[in-house]
Amino acid sequence: MPDFYARKAIEGAKCHGNWSDPRLKPIADSNGPCRSIDSYNYTLDKNGWPLISECNKVAFWKYYTTVESMAIFDAIYTNKHGLTDAFVGFWDRVAQKLANNKYVMGFDPLNEPFAADIEANPDLLQADLFN
């Protein structure tokens, strides 16, 4: 994700849910409750982002419950700051560029998507939400 979209999506993001909610317990048990990426006290690069070498100290899936991650997924799913439109526009352009390339059979625009801001809406964790 481009830096300028990520910064906009996480602007003002904070932990705000009830992590004692039984629906959040399995996520909290595996990932930990909501916290900021800043709480890891990682060394930052010149742009203010944690160094990859620092991030590699923890399994990446554990970062899904950081306030920044949940805010970005929420922005993608709800089109906050036009992020859904930009995301779709980017992948539309990629698809157009690669459409006639005989060496490309497909691409995965959203690998391992997380269920947006589960802290604000634990119902997103229900498997039958869309049935």
Instruction: With respect to residue 131, please indicate whether it lies within any of the assigned structural domains.
Output: no
Both tokens assigned to 81: 């700051």
Instruction: With respect to residue 120, please indicate whether it lies within any of the assigned structural domains.
Output: yes
Residue tagged active-site, from 11, 54, 68, 112 = 112
Instruction: With respect to residue 116, please indicate whether it lies within any of the assigned structural domains.
Output: yes
Q: What is the DSSP letter of 83?
A: H
CA–CA distances in Å: residue 128 to residues 22, 34, 65, 96: 17, 24, 22, 34
Q: Which domain holds residue 51?
A: 3-125
- Among 42, 39, 45, 34, smallest CA distance to 71 is for 34
Region of poorest pLDDT, from 5-9, 67-71, 91-95, 126-130: 126-130
Instruction: With respect to residue 113, please indicate whether it lies within any of the assigned structural domains.
Output: yes
Instruction: With respect to residue 80, please indicate whether it lies within any of the assigned structural domains.
Output: yes
Total tally of structural domains belonging to the chain: 1
Both tokens assigned to 100: 């006639």
Instruction: Report the chain's C-alpha Rg in angstroms.
Output: 17
Mean pLDDT of 16-42: 88
Region of poorest pLDDT, from 88-97, 99-108, 112-121: 112-121
Task: Answer yes or no: 68 catalytic.
Answer: no
Instruction: With respect to residue 21, please indicate whether it lies within any of the assigned structural domains.
Output: yes
**Is a pLDDT exceeding 70 seen at residue 31?**
yes
Instruction: With respect to residue 26, please indicate whether it lies within any of the assigned structural domains.
Output: yes
Question: In whole angstroms, what is the distance from residue 118 CA to residue 20 CA?
Answer: 13
Instruction: With respect to residue 130, please indicate whether it lies within any of the assigned structural domains.
Output: no
